[in-house]
Every structure is written in structure tokens, then in C-alpha cells.
Structure 1
Amino acid sequence: MTATDAQAYWMSATIPSDQFLLYCFDRGAGSGASIEEIGPDLLERAAEIDDLTVRIAEVPRGLDFPYWVHAPVSTRQLRRHRARGWDDCLRILGAEMADQIDLRDHGWRVHLFDPIADAPGVDGPAVVAVLQIAHALADGALASDIARRLFGSDPLVSVRDVRTFSPTKAAARAVVSVPVRAVRLVVAAVGAHRAHRRREHDIAAGRVSAAPAGGRLVAVNTRPDHRRELRTVHTDRDTLRDIGGSVTRGALVVISEALSEHLDVDPSGGLRAEITIAKPGVRLARNHFRNAGIDLWITESDRAVRARRIGDEVAAAVERAAHPATVAESRAMASVPAAVIRWGVAGFDADVVPDTMTGNVVVSSVHRGAADLVLGGGRVVFTTGFPALSPMQTLTHGVHGIGDRVVISICSSPTGLADVDAYRDRLAARLNA
């Protein structure tokens, strides 16, 4: 594992972070394949996907980062559910979020729902399939790519490395490599320091903006309990583009309007969202993104101006993420010894209440490609996902599109968000405002 992925794995013991990628399929021209046929077919296809045939193996005494090793696909990774309808499907999935993946055994599972009759935007019965995957195994973009291979129809080519993992050899390799890693860390740290100084000069010269300060806490910034309430608002690409110029900006505008109204936020205090931004360059880890906080400009009443200012916030965050200093920090992180990262994770106190928040809520936006996925003879109609909650964020949003369809999802805990149905209705109303 890379340092970044190992940190995500170790942190998941404190902050559960499994991803749940939901895909809804119609039943095709006929009745479609039975659920009894679909399940085994999915497992058979998963066995040919390298990313779905791995687990982790720990190095003795934590001398190094865990290793990815081969793991055969098991029938235990398929869970079948029977829901009374779409709302019940979301209720069941919310309850399943308490059962997180154990990466020492496997990295994913699929939840397969018997056909339901009232899936949004589907004429007739629909089959819902949900890929639950450990965040250390894949970030949002990579998980979407894996799901595309799982639910796609293209031939799969496996290139897996089946070398045997030896705990003893891994420990010995870690000990021997200490001097080399120490040199790499020093070199990376020096480079990161120089790049940091360059960024400070660039900020002073106005060539790049400084990272904004966090915002004050609001009602949703409290500790979530074990309950997860899931809701979805269905729209299309053109509607969001008409609002904000792009799907992501349009969704951020709608969320800013609905949430500030629902929470009755004092505009002078502002409202912020934590968004995910892909790192520049070649993917060097399974988690290849950064988080950034942006102002949602709830003080701006003109919707077009608000959209433009939110767009400027996103553009500035992307520019900061691409700065050489940010790249150098990632290199330095990759050189930090496993023991140091594990010590840092162990010292994290989830009960500490911060003075400010990078984002009051989370908004994760991923486009999942063309609407050409298939399952049991039916084609995909829409997709969605539910970003995990964290110790002081009881409300997250997903913005997921496939083809022309886009779904804005809500994942919340009732400890922070009162009346999730009313909030969903506000989001839907703002889409049509």
C-alpha cells in the first residue's frame, strides 16, 4: 500500500469511510434475468477484475505499510435484499452502512435488491445493485471505474500479480530499507519546504490565492450517531447546467439555497462546503484526491452571481491543488515511514470539537460516464452514492451523473439534520425555481 492508502485504511477504524455506489437498472425488453442468475454472474465477472480480487496483509510489528495480496471472490461478498419499494431500499441500505468492509478479508461486497416497482424515472420493475467498497481500495473516481467494469459488458483482461506474500520477508525488507527511506524522506522534506516558500511568494504576488480560513459551526456540525438517513433528488444534466454553468456548480448553488433556508443560517456567518478535487498528474495511489473548503456565498441573492462566485471558489481550489507545493507535499507524505503515519492516526481524537470547519457539509461530485451499463438484460437508468459522515459532519451530498441523468443524494444523521424529508423537498423545489 502507499502511505496515502494506508492512512485511509487505518483512519477507517475511527471514521468509517466505505463507499456505496448505487446503480438502478430497468428490466430490458423482456422480463430480464432472475436475481438468482444475476448474483452468480456478478461474482463471476468480479473474479476477472484485478481490483476486486485483493485484500490486505499486515507486516509484523507494523514495520511497513500493509501489502495488497490476492483474495479469491467469495459468495459472502453478495448480499440479497428484499425491499417494499424505493424508500425501503434506501432504508435498508442506510442500515447496511453500519457493517463496514474488513480489508483483511476482502475489499468489497455487492448488495442486490429484488425488483422494485417504484424506482424514480423507471417504467416498470427495476433492479438495484450497490457496490460497497473500502475507501482505501479506491477513491470515488477509481471506484466508479471499477463499477463500470463490473456492470459493463466489455471483455475483461486480468493482469494480476499472484506473487506469494511472506510476512517474514516483508518485515526483513522493511528493516533493510530504513536507511534508503530516511534519505528519501529528507530529500522530499527539503523539496516540500522549498516549494512551500515558493507558494508563499506566489500568494504574496497574487499569482495564487491563499487557502481560505474555515467557517463557523452550524446545526449539522455535531457528532452523528449510528443512524443513516438516505434520500435522493433526481434531475438532469441540462437543468443543473442552466443553473450554474456546470453540473457541479449548479448542484452547489441548489444546495446552498436549500440548506441555508432549511437551517435558517445567519447569512453574515456564511456557509461552506467541503469538496473533493482530483490531484494533478499520474495516479500514484488508489486515493488520488484532495479536500478543499469553498464558500457557498449565501449572502449573494442573485443566483447567477452566486453561481459565478462559487465557480471562482472551485477554480481557485483546483489551482491551489495543482501548485508545485501541493505536489511536493504529496511526495513528502509518500516518504513518511509507516510507523509515523500509524502513530499520527492513533493520536487522532474524534471527540475534539473544532473552532471552525473546512466545510459545514460535504459535496462529492463524480460523473460516471455513458449510460451503457447492463445487468441481467436491463440497462442502467441512474446512479447515485452516499459519502460517509465524519465526526463533526452529519450531512453529506453526492452529485452523480450517468448519461444525461443526475442524482443529488443526501446522507445524514438525525442528530444534526432535522426532518431530512423536508430538506429533500427544499432541494427539489430549488431545482425548479
Structure 2
Amino acid sequence: MRQLTALDAQFLNVESATTAAHVAGLAILDPAAGTVDRRALAELLLDRMHLSPALSLRLAEVPLGLDHPYWAADPCFDLDNHLFEMTLPAPGDDRLLAEAVAELHARRLDRAHPLWEMHLINGLAGGRVAVYTKVHHAAIDGVSGAETLATLLDLTPDGHLRPKCGPSRKSRDVTQDRVPAGDKARAEPPGLAGMLAGAAMRTATHPVRALQSVVRAAEDLDAIPLAAAIPGARLIARAARVVARDRHERPELPSLSVPRTPLNGPISARRRLSFGSLPLPDVRRVARTNGISVNDVVMTLCASALRSWLRERDALPAEPLVAAVPVAVRTARARDLVGNQFSAMVAPMPTNVPDPRERLRAVGTAMSRAKRRFALAPATWPSELCSMLPAPVTSLVTPAIFRLAGLAFPPINLIISNVPGPQFPLYLCGGRVLAYYPLSVLTDMSGGLNITCFSYDGRLDFGIVACPERMDDVWGLLGHLRAALDELLDERVGDELRDGVRVDLVAG
């Protein structure tokens, strides 16, 4: 049975009274071609759960927290613990939907069960329905989260009516089903004696493994937030690479000094969110015209929107903001594994550059340098940092470390993530998915704002999660994203496109 890695366990350790460490998505559906109700969702889930291990496994804790937990089949799996339904009050607009989902997003998952929930939300304007799904970050990362979503979706409206490869459940009560016995046998954790023996062995060998992690992390010392500001960080990183016989000449990164902004500081338990979409063809046009990637344009849009939002509040720092950008490192062999396979690039965002054309070029230069460095030697420092302390110590000190970082030493200003998706329509229980807005995690250390986008069927769907104590107008940021794209189209494509291009941003 698979044990959680130090990186997986860190997402459990970081949870506190103000932090919930799950990732989520909000799907907006047109149910006209299907039946999107609770029973249909239950049938679909039970038919396809075997395709996504994260949905059927729960945590098996090691006594006294002496080691990282294991994943185990839930012998009392009950779909009623995971599938819920609610109806919005009239008029059922996007603002009401965002408020309802924000409350759901702020709640931590119950660790006594597999770490996921799905909420069917009725009563949306125009006859639409929404499905909000959250899964703990200890179980999935961005790529595996998208793959988990894909197991529930179909290419045609009638795909959910076709026979599935899983066991038939027509004769059972779908709200009281159980994990198949074969899956249980494969998902059994070691017994108490085995857990304690494993914990003792890993405790005894931890100093050696911790030293190895320190050396490997030192190779990227000049790319690690906060650590990069240590005098001599670049020299130490070069020396560590010599010791490790790493002959790659890595491009030097710019300064990662993190300015203070209203977005950084301790967060509360409350959440606010907004969601909206931009046309992907327009973003691709800007990327193609300027010889950069779509992700670079996304970063530029975020930098421009943040610049405008901060200027409105007389809080724009003279230095560029610093953003962490998650990067998938999941291999084909690890595709079916529960847990995280990702790293991160940290790059400056030129929010201090007034000219939009120069800002776009500055983003392209900074991201190109970061990507070249990552391609030469993918950074492992997120995993290495999580592995330096023994499991019992990490679980105790992590919340305090994150809180202290939020108060005094923020390593970044925010996290921005761009997840690629399919460019064709998909269906859930026969209902067409109109949009899919990803929603992610806030912590004291990473700041009170997270921007995630997902490309789907010709759109870039943005999900913005914020702490209201750190960001007072989460919807206003969406307006600035739209203005930023208009600005780039004006600057780089030509005024003649203004009459023929519509920027569709759902703002409620």
C-alpha cells in the first residue's frame, strides 16, 4: 500500500483553523440534453470510481503521528458522505453562486472518509446547474485532478448511458454502495506492527535522508524563495552542483525579493471567490504575434490586473511581485498513483512596468529564463524541503512556520496556475459542460490570493480565490483581467480587431 510522501503529507500538516488544503473545480452545465440530478451523479460516480483511486481511498494514520499516513480502502464507504445537493435562492446569479461555493470551499474535508466531496447546485439562472467538486491536495495535483475530472466526463451527451467496464450496480442502492472487495485487498495498509516498524526504520535513517535532501535543495538555493536572498546563495548553489557533479550551466535568475502588499499577511478562515472566462483564440493571437507562449500571456494578464488593482488602492510596490507557478512533473508510470508529482518555478511579475508592451516582453523574458533553467534541471526543492524534518516534528511545526511566514517573511506574493484542458465540448450525465472554473488553496505563506485558469473549449476559465481580509473586491480583479486583454489586443494586434472581437468575461 502506498504511503504518503513528505510533500503529500505537507498538505495535511498545513491545515489549520484558517487553512483548508483542497483543490476544487466549479463546472457550469446546460442540462438540456441530459439528466443532471443527484441520482444520475451517484450512478455515474459508482460506475467510474474504480478509474480514479483518489475517490475510494482514505487516510490510515500511524499511531502518535510517528510517520506519514498511508492510503487505505474505506471499508465503510458511503456515497452520502461525499455527494450533496443544494438550491440557490432567486435570482440564482453568479454572485449568489460564488457566495455559496465560497462557504463550501472554506470548509475542511473530513479525514474519516476519502478526501473528496461533490455538490450539485440547482437554481442557477437560465436553467443551468453547477457541480462543485473538491479533493484534498494530499491526494491529487493539477494534472491528476484534471485526469480525475476526465473519468467522469463524456465526449457525447449519451456517453453516460453506455455500458461501463466497472461492475453493474443497477440492483443496488447507489447511496449505500461499497468499494469492491478486490480493490480493498490491494489497498490494505500495513498493520499496527508494520506501521510502527516502518516508522522506527525511517526515524533511524532520517538523518541520512535529511542530509541528502539538504544537498539536493542546496543545488537550487538561488531559486528557492527567501533562501535566494541569503548572501552567497548563488555561490553555495554552484558549489552544491559541483559536489553533485551536475554539469548543467543553469541560467541565473533575477532577484526574488518579495515586496509587501495588502495581499500578504495572515489569512482568516473566510473565503471569497469569483470566476470568469476570456476567449482563448484572442490569448493565442497575442501569444503568436509576440512570439511567446499562452502561459506567458496568462502571466502578463495577471500582472496587469494586479497592477491595476493595487494602484486603485495606492498599494502598488516599486518592486515586481513574485509569483510561484506550479509545474507538472508527473510521468506516464506515475499516472495512476495517488498524490503529488509537481514542482514550481518562482518568477518576478513586472507589475512595476507601466507600459503594457514592455510588461509583456518582461514577462516573456523572465518566464523564458525560468523555463530554460527548469528544462535543464527540474527543481526538486519543494519535495526536498518537506523531507528535511522527521514526520512527527513536521506535523507539529508546519502551521506555526506558515503563520510566521505570513506575518514577517512571505516567500511569494501569490500562486498562479494554468492547467491545459480539452478544446472540445464535454458532457456530465448528458449535460454539456459550459465552463470549468478551477479553485485552489490559500495559506498564510502563499498569501491571500490564488489565481488558477483552465483552458476548455475555446475559453480560458479563471477561478480566483481570496481571503476577504486580504482582498476586498475579488470581482474587480476579473474586470482588470478583461481590460488587460483588451490592452494587449490594442497594443499588439491592431485597432481594427476591436470591432470584431468580443471579450466575454462572466462577472455576475
**Fold equivalence (TM over 0.5):** yes
Distance 1:247 1:325 in 2: 21
Distance 2:236 2:269 in 1: 45
Contact 2:54-2:338 at 8 Å conserved across structures: no
Distance 1:296 1:335 in 2: 30
Give the letter aligned to residue 169 of structure 1: G
> Structure 1's 114 and 165: CA in aligned 2 closer, same or farther, altered over 3 A?
farther
1:58 pairs, out of 58, 61, 81, with 61
> Structure 1's 280 and 176: CA in aligned 2 closer, same or farther, altered over 3 A?
closer
1:297 paired with 2:350, answer yes
Match of 2:8 in 1: 5
Show the 5 A alignment for 1:191-270.
Answer: 199-200=237-238, 207-210=250-253, 212-244=255-287, 245-264=292-311, 265-266=315-316, 268-270=318-320
Alpha-carbon offset, residue 401 of structure 1: 1.3
> Structure 1's 17 and 371: CA in aligned 2 closer, same or farther, altered over 3 A?
farther
Mean CA deviation greater in 40-49 or 200-209: 200-209
Match of 1:275 in 2: 325
Alpha-carbon offset, residue 206 of structure 1: 6.4
Alpha-carbon offset, residue 74 of structure 1: 2.1
Q: Which runs of 5+ in 2 are unaligned?
A: 167-179, 222-234, 488-508
Mean CA deviation greater in 86-95 or 221-230: 221-230
Distance 2:86 2:70 in 1: 33
Mean CA deviation greater in 368-377 or 155-164: 155-164
Distance 1:253 1:243 in 2: 11
Alpha-carbon offset, residue 55 of structure 1: 0.6
Mean CA deviation greater in 254-263 or 343-352: 343-352
Mean CA deviation greater in 299-308 or 225-234: 299-308
Alpha-carbon offset, residue 54 of structure 1: 0.3
Over the residues paired in the alignment, what is the CA RMSD in angstroms?
3.3
Show the 5 A alignment for 1:362-373.
Answer: 362-373=415-426
Match of 1:146 in 2: 148
Alpha-carbon offset, residue 280 of structure 1: 7.2
Alpha-carbon offset, residue 308 of structure 1: 2.9
Match of 1:81 in 2: 86
Distance 1:175 1:360 in 2: 39
Distance 2:467 2:381 in 1: 37
Alpha-carbon offset, residue 16 of structure 1: 1.7
3-state SS in 1 of match to 2:452? strand
Q: Please give the per-residue CA displacement for 1:66-103, whole angstroms capped at 9, x wherever unaligned.
A: 01000235222011121223321111000112221123
TM-score by length of 2: 0.74
1:317 paired with 2:325, answer no
Mean CA deviation greater in 131-140 or 59-68: 59-68
Contact 2:216-2:381 at 8 Å conserved across structures: yes
Contact 1:59-1:170 at 8 Å conserved across structures: yes
**May I ask how many residue pairs the two structures share in their alignment?**
425
1:68 paired with 2:71, answer yes
Distance 2:456 2:392 in 1: 41
Match of 2:173 in 1: none
Contact 1:292-1:358 at 8 Å conserved across structures: no
Q: Which runs of 5+ in 1 are unaligned?
A: 119-124
3-state SS in 1 of match to 2:106? coil
Match of 1:168 in 2: 193
Give the letter aligned to residue 132 of structure 1: K
Distance 2:65 2:29 in 1: 44
Q: Please give the per-residue CA displacement for 1:350-409, whole angstroms capped at 9, x wherever unaligned.
A: 155555544323211111334343222122221111222222622221111112121122
Contact 1:19-1:135 at 8 Å conserved across structures: yes
> Structure 1's 268 and 117: CA in aligned 2 closer, same or farther, altered over 3 A?
same
Distance 1:294 1:331 in 2: 20
Distance 1:146 1:296 in 2: 31
Q: Please give the per-residue CA displacement for 1:254-297, whole angstroms capped at 9, x wherever unaligned.
A: 22222212211446333333322224766587222234432221
> Structure 1's 315 and 355: CA in aligned 2 closer, same or farther, altered over 3 A?
farther
3-state SS in 2 of match to 1:216? coil
Mean CA deviation greater in 252-261 or 336-345: 336-345
TM-score by length of 1: 0.85
3-state SS in 1 of match to 2:260? coil
Match of 1:26 in 2: 30
Contact 2:452-2:464 at 8 Å conserved across structures: yes
Match of 1:431 in 2: 485
> Structure 1's 183 and 412: CA in aligned 2 closer, same or farther, altered over 3 A?
closer
Mean CA deviation greater in 281-290 or 53-62: 281-290
3-state SS in 2 of match to 1:96? helix
3-state SS in 2 of match to 1:68? strand
Distance 1:191 1:360 in 2: 25
Alpha-carbon offset, residue 137 of structure 1: 0.7
1:39 pairs, out of 24, 41, 44, with 41
Contact 2:60-2:189 at 8 Å conserved across structures: no
Alpha-carbon offset, residue 334 of structure 1: 5.2
2:129 pairs, out of 127, 130, 135, with 127
Distance 2:416 2:316 in 1: 21
Distance 1:63 1:223 in 2: 29
Give the letter aligned to residue 5 of structure 2: T
1:417 paired with 2:471, answer yes
Alpha-carbon offset, residue 10 of structure 1: 1.5
Match of 1:122 in 2: none
Distance 2:418 2:265 in 1: 23
Alpha-carbon offset, residue 113 of structure 1: 1.2
1:98 pairs, out of 78, 103, 106, with 106
Contact 2:27-2:130 at 8 Å conserved across structures: yes
Distance 2:418 2:196 in 1: 40
Distance 1:418 1:359 in 2: 20
Match of 2:413 in 1: 360
Give the letter aligned to residue 200 of structure 1: R
Distance 1:331 1:271 in 2: 25
Distance 2:306 2:382 in 1: 34
Give the letter aligned to residue 276 of structure 1: P
Distance 2:58 2:326 in 1: 26
Alpha-carbon offset, residue 58 of structure 1: 0.7
Contact 1:25-1:127 at 8 Å conserved across structures: yes
Distance 1:191 1:301 in 2: 39
> Structure 1's 362 and 179: CA in aligned 2 closer, same or farther, altered over 3 A?
closer
3-state SS in 2 of match to 1:47? helix
Distance 2:376 2:196 in 1: 36
> Structure 1's 65 and 156: CA in aligned 2 closer, same or farther, altered over 3 A?
farther
Mean CA deviation greater in 148-157 or 256-265: 148-157
